[in-house]
Structure 1
Amino acid sequence: DVVYFDLALDYRKATRIALSASQDTAPRTLSEAVGLFQALGKDVSVIGDCPGMIVARTVARIVDLAHDAVAKGVATEEDIDTAMRLGVNYPLGPFEWSRRLGTNWSYDLLDELHVRDPSGRYAPSLALYRHAYATEKREGTP
């Protein structure tokens, strides 16, 4: 039985949590997960089996597009973070999210989604791939 919960900037401060259960998860397990989050004072939205969830998938794509923009010389990482915070009113810029979640988190999520849906919709950009590869080399990860 598997129940996933979506990404939140700060789970302690989040007022709503999205949950998704795999198709094989028993209804009782999902009910218990809902009850757990409600006991923690959270409103709960149960969504269908949704690979990558909603917020996590969206943040990963934004991080990917930001890396692509930097690689193309559109702006610096700092400029993009500032623009997303001040212009779009996001709580964090894409590079701030990336540092908080781990440098390869977005690449890993998008790569897994691309394996599940090879339409190209979630294919990580070459810039994000290069960033992930360079990070692995620096950290000595195989």
Structure 2
Amino acid sequence: MPQDHLKKLENLYYAAPINEALNPTISISENISSIEQFIGQSQCHAGQFAHGSVIFKLLDDAAYFAAASSQTEFFLVTASYEIKFKKPAPVGHYKAIGELIDSSGRLLKAKSKVIDENDQIIAKGKGLFIPTKQQLSHLKGYSS
């Protein structure tokens, strides 16, 4: 896998407007990605735990970029994602780890998990990702 592709994927992640407010960090290698993020009070629901949408974003992004590491031409989208929440996530630092499971055929399969500072699993899941007709080379962030 070309190293410049992996670096461009990281740049693409940082170029996404949604990540400006969340301030995550990402590292992508062949078939694996890792995202770290502090979940603050503003990302919690009334029960004082991280909203499920925040955990889903970490899971989806980690699995997505593990899958995208194997796709050098087209932008992927999430076709489906199945989540299993294990325990609530209070304010703190979290890490999502994604791994490509299968890239044979048109659909790419990847799994991911979110762990807390004590390496306890908060949530895990797996997803299917499909290439679009949109070329990576035309996207702001990837091409710069």
TM-score range relative to shorter protein: under 0.3
Q: TM-score, normalised by structure 2?
A: 0.27
Structure possessing the higher relative contact order (Cα contacts under 8 Å, 6 or more residues apart): 2
Report the structure, 1 or 2, having the larger helix content.
1
Larger Rg: 1
Q: TM-score, normalised by structure 1?
A: 0.28
